[in-house]
Amino acid sequence: MADQFTLYGSFLSGPTYKVGLMLALTGQPYAYRHVDLSKAEQKSPEFLKLNRFGQVPVLVHERATQGSLPLVQSCAIIEYLADLSGRFGGKDAAERQQAREWLHWDVDRLMPWMNRARFYARFVKPDPAVVEHARKAAATGLDMLESLLEGRTFLLESGPSIADIGLFSSVVHAAEAEFDLDEYPNIQAWWKRIAALPGFKLPYELLPKS
């Protein structure tokens, strides 16, 4: 039996999209299982056996000879897939390190604030000061990405990588978070280059809703 993959996730989830996009861009077939976060399925005893943190995504790698391996934490998962496929991992150790730095920066300074801004715009309405705080932090992250993309085609010099896949999954829901990417021309141009990669799909085209 060849290796097989099953992605557990939610179509609303940026981290699930990150892993789905990596699978799509590497042309890796996979099965998909929707996890209904509104029913707290990610906290069920069966799901906690796959992910001790009680979150999506999980990618289960059914290895041909070594058995089943549940992988968690989207950045760690795409790095695992880069190693396995030999794709999108950077051309050498220095570039891999840079890719990791981008991914860590994203989960520190961009992704959580974009997610909160989107969550407040779409799902809950907290105190306006809380919304303002999240929006300002997200805007600071977008401003930094915009300026660091100046003169670059992709985040690593050698071409598209897990750094782009990671950061893109944080930016992709910008409109739902009520950010206008017309104000970020470098991000817009980078978006178009990523969207032109073979296998690319946007979240709602890539991830089934049930």
Identify which of residues 15 and 90 has a Cβ nearer to ligand GSH in the complex.
Answer: 15
d(CA 172, CA 179): 11
Smallest gap from residue 108 Cβ to ligand GSH (A): 11
Residues that bind ligand GSH (CB under 6 A): 13-15, 37, 42, 54-57, 73-75
Smallest gap from residue 20 Cβ to ligand GSH (A): 12
199 backbone dihedrals φ, ψ, rounded to 5°:
95, -10
Identify which of residues 91 and 122 has a Cβ nearer to ligand GSH in the complex.
Answer: 122
Tally the C-alpha atoms within 13 A of residue 46's C-alpha that lie toward its C-beta: 4
Coil, helix or strand for 32? Answer: strand
Smallest gap from residue 92 Cβ to ligand GSH (A): 25
Identify which of residues 79 and 95 has a Cβ nearer to ligand GSH in the complex.
Answer: 79
Smallest gap from residue 185 Cβ to ligand GSH (A): 28
Identify which of residues 54 and 159 has a Cβ nearer to ligand GSH in the complex.
Answer: 54
C-alpha 32: how far from chain center: 16
User: Which tokens hold the place of 66?
Assistant: 């070594």
d(CA 74, CA 89): 15
